[in-house]
């Protein structure tokens, strides 16, 4: 999430109640983001030794950390006893929850010739392009962006919180979500789908992609152009699906993987690692379909014998 303006290291530290920082007080911070989404100018946090090196070497230029370490050149540090909690203070400050005052927010921007059917909810600061159809009982949460010529069918939820919790001794701590969903032009989303917003970045469905009914798209996932996704597909967070991919019904895809351009994943498969482009896959775990069919044939012969 980018801030509405640049803030200094001193200002951000003050907002969190932190007094120990390393770097010039006027060092500029442009936004906050999780480690896998950071860009130059962002602040990210790290609270486990396993990820110290990754955070310090990331594109982030300010690191909120729970240990005094050498500050990398060109970066700044904020030392905190509880980086997760302090990061949540920034999320709540810059993207506080706004209660709805009407079914279609007065702050929403809706383009020419777009139809909003009765019962649809359009949240605060939502932007919807031209020539769209938003069917009854669709919910579009705050700050989401919908392009031109988009169709969203009944019961779909765009922009629910990321499914992201930190386990603690006294229970789970919710990672407050401040990202968005961006749906680009000519996308069609079936009925009863759920597309979660990014934790602090964006979940993106790119141009001309079509989702069947009952699809789940996790936080910070990117779905490329001209993709087809069948009913009951479940795609975890931080996944990248490249252009022209076809995903058949009831496919499950794990987090943090890449599905290469033009890949086809056959129905009821489960994907646990990145897949190369231009190939057809099947099975649990999914492998190239021809290899899977050969494997199944060999098993049938063994059983027959």
For residue range 264-274, list pLDDT tens digits in order.
999 999 999 99
- pLDDT given for residue 35 in this prediction: 87
Q: If pLDDT is split at 50, 70 and 90, which confidence band does 235 have?
A: very high
pLDDT band, very low/low/confident/very high, at 145 (cuts 50, 70, 90): very high
pLDDT of residue 116 exceeding 90, the answer is: yes
Joined tokens for residue 109:
């921007």
Q: What residues contact residue 249 under an 8 Å CB cut-off, 6+ apart?
A: 212, 230, 231, 232, 233, 267, 268
Q: What are the residue ranges spanned by the domains of the chain? A: 2-94, 109-292
pLDDT for residue 74 is more than 80: yes
Please indicate, yes or no, whether the overall pTM of this predicted structure exceeds 0.85: yes
Which conformational region is residue 81 in: left (phi greater than 0), alpha (psi within -120 to 50 degrees), or beta? Answer: alpha
The topology under which CATH files domain 109-292 is UDP N-Acetylglucosamine Acyltransferase; domain 1 (2.160.10)
Confidence band (pLDDT; 50, 70, 90) for 305?
Answer: low
State the pLDDT at residue 268.
97
71 vs 82: CA distance, rounded Å: 19
pLDDT at 117: 98
- CA dist 55 and 23 (Å) reads 17
Sheet holding 216-217, edge to edge: 121-122, 139-140, 157-160, 194-196, 216-217, 234-235, 252-253, 270-271
Lowest mean pLDDT among 113-127, 161-175, 189-203: 161-175
Report the interhelical angle of 83-94 vs 9-16 (nearest 10°).
100
Sort 133 into a burial class: Cβ within 10 Å, 0-12 / 13-18 / 19+. middle
Which class in CATH covers the domain with range 2-94? Answer: alpha beta
Check for a shared fold between 2-94 and 109-292: no
Clarify whether 143 is annotated catalytic. no
Whether the per-residue pLDDT at 47 is higher than 70: the answer is yes
pLDDT of 301 > 90? The answer is: no
Residue pLDDT, tens place only, 182-222: 999 999 999 999 999 999 999 999 999 999 999 999 999 99
Exactly one of 135, 153, 214, 219 is catalytic; name it: 219
pLDDT surpasses 90 at 110 = yes
Q: Can you give the three-state secondary structure of the chain, one letter per residue?
A: CEEEEEEEHHHHHHHHCCCCEECCCCCEEEEECCHHHCCCCEEEEECCHHHHHHHHCCCCCEEEECCCCCCCCCCEEEECCCHHHHHHHHHHHHCCCCCCCCCECCCCEECCCCEECCCCEECCCCEECCCCEECCCCEECCCCEECCCCEECCCCEEEECCCCEEEECCEEEECCCCCEEEECCCCEECCCCEEECCCCCEEEECCCCEECCCCEECCCCEECCCCEECCCCEECCCCEECCCCEECCCCEECCCCEECCCCEECCCCEECCCECCCCEEECCCCEEHHHHHHHHHHHHHHHHC
For residue 67, the model assigns a pLDDT of 93
Mean residue pLDDT of the chain comes to 96
Per-residue pLDDT, 295: 87
């Amino acid at each position: 999430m980018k801030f509405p303006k640049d803030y200094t290291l001193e200002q951000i530290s003050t907002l969190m109640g932190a007094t120990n920082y390393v770097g010039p007080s006027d060092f500029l911070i442009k936004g906050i983001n999780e480690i896998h989404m950071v860009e130059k100018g962002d602040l990210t946090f790290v609270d486990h030794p396993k990820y110290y090196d990754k955070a310090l070497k990331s594109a982030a230029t300010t690191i909120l950390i729970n240990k005094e370490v050498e500050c990398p050149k060109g970066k700044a540090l904020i030392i905190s006893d509880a980086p997760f909690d302090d990061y949540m203070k920034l999320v709540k400050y810059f993207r506080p929850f706004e209660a709805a005052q009407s079914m279609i927010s007065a702050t929403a921007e809706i383009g020419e010739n777009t139809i909003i059917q009765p019962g649809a909810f359009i949240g605060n600061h939502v932007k919807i392009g031209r020539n769209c159809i938003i069917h009854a009982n669709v919910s579009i949460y705050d700050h989401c962006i919908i392009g031109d010529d988009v169709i969203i069918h009944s019961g779909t939820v765009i922009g629910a919180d990321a499914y992201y919790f930190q386990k603690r001794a006294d229970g789970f701590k919710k990672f407050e979500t401040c990202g968005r969903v961006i749906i680009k032009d000519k996308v069609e989303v079936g009925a009863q789908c759920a597309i979660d917003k990014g934790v602090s970045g964006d979940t993106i469905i790119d141009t001309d992609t079509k989702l069947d009914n009952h699809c789940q798209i996790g936080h910070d996932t990117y779905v490329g152009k001209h993709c087809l996704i069948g009913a009951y597909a479940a795609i975890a967070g931080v996944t990248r699906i490249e252009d022209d991919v076809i995903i058949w019904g009831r496919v499950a895809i794990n987090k943090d993987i890449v599905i290469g351009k033009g890949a086809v994943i056959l129905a009821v498969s489960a994907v646990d690692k990145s897949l190369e482009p231009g190939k057809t896959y099947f099975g649990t775990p999914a492998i190239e379909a021809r290899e899977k069919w050969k494997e199944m044939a060999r098993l049938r012969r063994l059983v027959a014998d």
